[in-house]
Structure 1
Amino acid sequence: MPLRIALRHQGWRVDADRSRESVMRLKAGFVAMAVMAAACDPQPAVNIDTPIPPLPGTETPAAAPGAQLTPEETAAGWKLLFNGTDLTGWKGYKKDAPGAGWAVENGELTLTAGGAGDIMTAEEFGPFELSLEWKISPNGNSGIIYLIKEDPAAENTYNTGPEMQVLDNDGHADGKFPTHRAGALYDFQTPPDGAVKPVGEWNEAVVRFSGSEIEHWLNGVLVSETNYGDDAWKAKVAATKFKQWPLFGTFASGHIALQDHGDRVWYRSIKIRPIQ
């Protein structure tokens, strides 16, 4: 039986009676025409698995260096003190917020101008292991102070808390005093030579406080080690400038501060874990 078909091509309608064989030939012809047309105007193939780029201004910011913990660090009890984005979890000494000179730049916590005062954790810790990286500017001075209490009798962070020195040994005047050099338990012990990296490079620092002992590590080197809290410790304190502050070195827990000594300094990868 003849088959009635209607075809539309470029706005023209064509009616014809065709046998099944004719229809198949006609269909094949249209397929060939479509293939030829595609060849004349090729379009790149679209991979449906290709991610669609985000709209401008909607990109997710990359994680700041050191602003995240590995699964192994999390399992080991480490906690971030600095998120690499803002100053959440930090305050000023005896103040609710850090001074304006402290800022976050490129995922790093930095002092941009002196007069801000020390920046301090809102939380207290102890015993603990603190790990961070620091970089000092030429001729610069700063410090990592811990076991701090905001006691009415203590005007400054260092009136209660021991300090790990952060320093340009060659450029700053404090570098002339052996117990004031980078990594030292400030005013107590002389760190070994060669542990600190040149000014402008990142240093890896660890402060370990067990409750009865203090250790300072700088770039994998044990640079200071002492007992804490006993009569021998009290005798050591009496031989330093800290003897004028009765509360110094007497607490088993406290805040952790980064010192404003008026010089540009950078910190990152700041994390802590409790220890037994």
Structure 2
Amino acid sequence: MIRNIFSAVLLSAALISCQSSQSETEVAENTEVPQATDENGEWKQLFNGKTITGWHTYGKNTVGQAWKAQDGTLYLDPNAGEGTGGDLVTDEEYEDFHLKLDWKVAKNGNSGIIFYVKEDPAKYQNTYNTGLEMQVLDNEGHPDAKIVKHRAGDLYDLVTGTPENVKPAGEWNQVEIISKDGRLKLIQNGTQVVDTTLWDDNWKAMIAGSKFADMPDWGTFKSGKIALQDHGDEVWYRNIMIKEL
């Protein structure tokens, strides 16, 4: 009898151990990190850290020597020589999208992330003649920081980004631009700083009161290219990814 009881105890213990191991396996499988995808599409790299494939200088078919793939970043060297820079634009256009990237700028530096750019150099000389801009700036050193709506994280010349949470020159900032169905959100270092509506009457009124008032097509396009601005200062971009929404 004792022997039978002992055998039964051992069998029960083995069953409990097996069930426990199975449960742990199921938990491990269920806690797998999901991929960054949704029903609308997948994240796409716009810069692989090694080449500038997928980009070109606005109005041209190539990229000048001022823009370099360097140490995993897309770097603008303002000393590369006259005529070697210019704004970079994507080869493709985007409509509703979620863009993510990191940027840092040199002391006193200025640049910008411009989107909904209509590339037609015969009609529009620059990317900013049509595209909206999320400002990239050294707020502590560049003169533009003294102008309202011209500081890092602002929707340039239209909406002040709040709260102001940009990091000092030389440090990386992580930003996101989300545009879907006419609603635009700008996120800087994990915090939403701008939330506005595009193309309605209020949008038109904002443009009428801005420096873009004399550009009839500015801010009107609902699809376009994404640009990184050459403002003549050192700037670095990395981890550039987009998801079409």
For 1:99 and 1:244, locate their aligned partners in 2 and report how far apart those are by CA, in whole Å. 30
Q: Identity over the aligned pairs, expressed in percent?
A: 50
Q: 1 or 2 for the larger relative contact order (CA 8 Å, sep ≥6)?
A: 2
2:170 maps to which of 200, 205, 225 = 200
8 A contact 1:133–1:205 mirrored in 2: yes
1:73 maps to which of 21, 33, 36 = 36
User: Which residue is 2:64 aligned to?
Assistant: 99
| CA deviation map 1:64-91 (0-9, x unaligned) | xxxxxx9712566110000111110001
1:191 equivalent in alignment to 2:161: yes
Q: Scaled by the length of structure 2, what TM-score is found?
A: 0.81
| CA deviation map 1:230-276 (0-9, x unaligned) | 2211111111011111111111110000000000000000000011x
Q: Displacement of 1:99 after TM fit? A: 2.0
1:155 maps to which of 117, 125, 128 = 125
For 2:44 and 2:159, locate their aligned partners in 1 and report how far apart those are by CA, in whole Å. 29
For 1:208 and 1:80, locate their aligned partners in 2 and report how far apart those are by CA, in whole Å. 16
SS in 2 for 1:180: coil
User: Which residue is 2:194 aligned to?
Assistant: 224
Question: After TM superposition, which residue ranges in structure 1, 4 or more long, deviate above 6 angstroms?
Answer: none
Q: Displacement of 1:105 after TM fit? A: 0.7
Aligned residue pairs, count:
206
For 2:64 and 2:193, locate their aligned partners in 1 and report how far apart those are by CA, in whole Å. 31
2:113 maps to which of 144, 155, 180 = 144
User: Which residue is 1:267 aligned to?
Assistant: 237
8 A contact 2:164–2:193 mirrored in 1: no
Q: Scaled by the length of structure 1, what TM-score is found?
A: 0.72
Of 150-159 and 83-92, deviating more is 150-159
1:83 equivalent in alignment to 2:52: no
- The gaps in structure 2 that reach 5 residues or longer are 1-32
User: Which residue is 2:73 aligned to?
Assistant: 108
SS in 1 for 2:89: strand
SS in 1 for 2:145: helix
8 A contact 2:163–2:193 mirrored in 1: no
| CA deviation map 1:94-144 (0-9, x unaligned) | 110122200011010010126500011001111000000000100000000
For 2:113 and 2:34, locate their aligned partners in 1 and report how far apart those are by CA, in whole Å. 27
User: Which residue is 1:13 aligned to?
Assistant: none
User: Which residue is 1:117 aligned to?
Assistant: 86
For 2:61 and 2:37, locate their aligned partners in 1 and report how far apart those are by CA, in whole Å. 29
SS in 1 for 2:42: coil
Query: RMSD across aligned C-alpha pairs, in angstroms?
Result: 1.5
Larger Rg over CA atoms? 1
Structure 1 residues 72 and 254: CA distance shift in structure 2, 3 A:
same
